[in-house]
C-alpha cells in the first residue's frame, strides 16, 4: 500500500478528507470533508462547546491552488445550540470563517495579491468573481484598519482630493513626520475635519502641535473648535498657486493695453512668468523674459512681488517675517490692480498662519506627493464606487515599512 497522502496539504484539525476527484481536462480538484468525530463542535461566535446537533449543512469552499489546479472543498458542518450565546450557531471548523466561500488561507492569499494587483486582475488570475475578491480584501482591511490609529501624532498636514467631477471631494489627513495617511473622509467641510479630532482622546489632542493646510476657512474653523491649541501653518505652495493666477490675469490685461508692435513680446510669456528664474536654462527664454520686464513696469513689479512672496516663508524669526509681510502687502496695494489688493488683504487676514511657519517649518508638499499616489491608486482601478474600500486601500498603501 502506498504511503503517499494528500493530508499534509490540508492540515485542518477538525475535519477529515473522505473523498476526492480530479478533473484533469479542466484542472479542477474536488475534495469532500466532514467534521472529525474526535472533536466536539464549538460555537464560531464564542468558541465554547455546543450542546447537541440541530442540523447538518454543506458548503463549497475555494482553497489555495495546487500548481495550476484549482481546489474546491465540499465541507459538511454542524449547527448546534450554544448555551452561552443563547441560540443555534454554526460550528467553528477553524479553517474558514462563517458565511465565507473561501478558506482562511485562500483569503489571505487574495489579500496579499490585492496589495499589488487590482481586484479585476486578481479575480481573473484566480477564476473568481470580482465581488468575492473585493469582499475578502475589504474584510481583511476592516479587521486591521477599521479603527483610526492616532498614536504618535505631533505634526499633521491636511488637504482634499477630488474623487470625480462635480466637486466630490475627500479630506486626507497625513502624519507629517512618518508620511502615514491617518484618516480619510468624504467632503471637505468643517464637520468633516472636526470628526477626525472627535475620535481622539484628550491626551492625543494635546500631543498634536501644528497642522499644515491651505487657507480654507472650513478647515480653520474645525481646528479652532476641536483643538484650539494646535498651531495652523499655511502652505506656501497654495499661496503661490493663487498668486500665479493673478499674475496671468495681469499679463493678459497688459497685453490688451499694449501697442501693436509690442504685443509679440507678450506672446508665449505665460510660462516665463510662472517659473523661477533658476528654472530658465535656455538663453532665448531668459532673453525673452528680460525684454518683457524692460517693456512693462507693472509686470516687473509683479515679478518682484512674486519673488518676495517666496522669501516670507524662508524666515525663522517671526519679527522679520512679520516685517516682510507688511512690506509686501504695502507694495501690492500700491499697484493699480483690484485682484492684488484683495490678495494682500487676504494675506494680512491670515498672517498668523504664515508667521507660524517660523516656529513649525512644515508644508503640504509631502501631502501633495501622497495625493498624486492616491490618484494613481484610483486610476489603476478605474475609480472606486465603494468610498470606504477606497479609504482602506489608501491607508494600507501608506503604512510605514
Given this model, what pLDDT does residue 356 score?
Answer: 92
**Pair type for strands 180-186 and 168-175:** antiparallel
Give 112's pLDDT tier (boundaries 50, 70, 90).
very high
Domain ranges within the chain, ordered by starting residue: 1-99, 104-146, 155-234+384-397, 236-359
Nearest to 340 by CA among 401, 278, 276, 249: 249
Express each pLDDT in 98-110 by its tens digit.
778 899 999 999 9
Copy the grid coordinates of residue 222. 474645525
Residue keyed to cell 508692435: 261
Spatial CB neighbours of 206, under 8 Å, sequence gap ≥ 6 = 229
CATH code for residues 155-234+384-397: 3.30.420.10
Copy the grid coordinates of residue 80. 448546534
Q: What rounded mean pLDDT belongs to the chain?
A: 87
Spatial CB neighbours of 265, under 8 Å, sequence gap ≥ 6 = 258, 288, 291, 292, 295
State which H helix or E strand residue 62 sits in.
strand 51-66
Express each pLDDT in 294-344 by its tens digit.
888 888 888 888 888 888 888 889 999 999 999 999 988 888 888 889 999
> What is the pTM for the complete model shown?
0.80
Spatial CB neighbours of 322, under 8 Å, sequence gap ≥ 6 = 351, 355
Lowest mean pLDDT among 51-55, 62-66, 178-182: 51-55
Given this model, what pLDDT does residue 1 score?
Answer: 47
Given this model, what pLDDT does residue 269 score?
Answer: 79
- Residues 62 and 30: their CA atoms lie apart, in Å, by 10
- Residues 109 and 137: their CA atoms lie apart, in Å, by 10
Express each pLDDT in 6-23 by its tens digit.
778 888 888 988 999 999
**Pair type for strands 28-35 and 15-23:** antiparallel
149-153 long-range contacts, CB within 8 A, separation 24+: 149/182, 150/182, 150/199, 150/200, 150/201, 150/204, 151/204, 152/177, 152/178, 153/182, 153/204, 153/207, 153/208
Give 30's pLDDT tier (boundaries 50, 70, 90).
very high
CB 156 within 8 A of CB 183: no
Neighbours of 300 (CB within 10 A): 13
Amino acid at each position: 500500500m502506498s504511503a503517499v497522502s494528500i493530508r499534509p496539504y490540508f492540515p485542518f484539525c477538525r475535519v477529515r478528507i473522505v473523498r476526492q476527484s480530479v478533473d484533469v481536462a479542466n484542472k479542477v480538484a474536488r475534495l469532500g470533508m466532514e467534521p472529525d468525530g474526535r472533536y466536539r463542535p464549538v460555537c464560531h461566535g464564542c468558541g465554547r462547546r455546543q450542546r447537541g446537533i440541530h442540523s447538518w449543512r454543506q458548503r463549497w469552499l475555494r482553497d489555495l491552488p495546487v500548481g495550476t489546479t484549482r481546489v474546491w472543498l465540499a465541507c459538511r458542518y454542524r449547527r448546534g445550540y450554544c448555551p452561552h450565546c443563547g441560540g443555534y450557531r454554526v460550528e467553528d471548523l477553524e479553517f474558514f470563517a462563517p458565511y465565507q466561500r473561501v478558506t482562511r488561507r485562500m483569503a489571505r492569499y487574495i489579500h496579499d495579491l490585492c496589495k499589488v494587483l487590482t481586484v479585476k486582475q486578481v479575480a481573473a488570475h484566480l477564476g473568481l468573481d470580482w465581488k468575492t475578491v473585493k469582499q475578502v480584501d475589504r474584510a481583511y482591511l476592516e479587521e486591521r484598519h477599521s479603527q483610526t490609529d492616532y498614536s504618535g501624532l505631533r505634526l499633521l498636514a491636511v488637504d482634499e482630493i477630488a474623487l470625480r467631477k462635480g466637486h466630490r471631494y475627500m479630506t486626507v489627513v497625513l502624519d507629517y513626520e512618518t508620511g502615514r495617511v491617518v484618516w480619510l473622509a468624504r467632503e471637505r467641510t468643517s464637520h468633516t475635519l472636526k470628526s477626525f479630532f472627535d475620535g481622539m482622546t484628550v491626551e492625543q489632542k494635546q500631543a498634536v502641535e501644528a497642522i499644515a493646510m491651505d487657507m480654507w476657512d472650513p478647515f480653520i474653523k474645525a481646528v479652532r473648535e476641536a483643538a484650539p491649541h494646535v498651531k495652523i501653518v499655511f502652505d506656501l505652495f497654495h499661496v503661490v498657486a493663487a498668486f500665479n493666477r493673478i499674475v496671468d490675469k495681469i499679463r493678459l490685461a497688459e497685453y490688451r493695453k499694449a501697442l501693436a508692435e509690442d504685443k509679440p513680446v507678450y506672446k508665449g510669456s505665460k510660462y516665463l512668468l510662472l517659473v523661477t528664474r533658476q528654472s530658465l536654462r535656455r538663453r532665448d527664454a531668459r532673453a525673452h523674459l528680460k525684454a518683457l520686464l524692460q517693456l512693462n513696469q507693472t509686470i516687473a513689479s509683479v515679478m518682484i512681488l512674486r519673488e518676495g512672496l517666496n522669501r516670507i516663508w524662508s524666515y525663522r524669526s517671526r519679527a522679520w517675517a512679520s516685517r516682510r509681510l507688511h512690506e509686501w502687502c504695502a507694495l501690492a496695494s500700491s499697484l493699480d490692480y483690484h485682484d492684488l489688493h484683495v490678495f494682500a488683504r487676504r494675506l494680512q487676514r491670515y498672517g498668523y498662519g504664515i508667521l507660524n511657519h517660523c516656529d513649525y517649518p512644515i508644508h503640504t508638499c509631502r501631502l501633495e506627493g501622497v495625493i498624486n499616489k492616491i490618484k494613481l491608486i484610483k486610476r489603476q482601478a478605474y475609480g472606486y464606487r465603494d468610498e470606504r474600500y477606497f479609504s482602506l486601500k489608501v491607508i494600507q498603501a501608506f503604512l510605514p515599512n
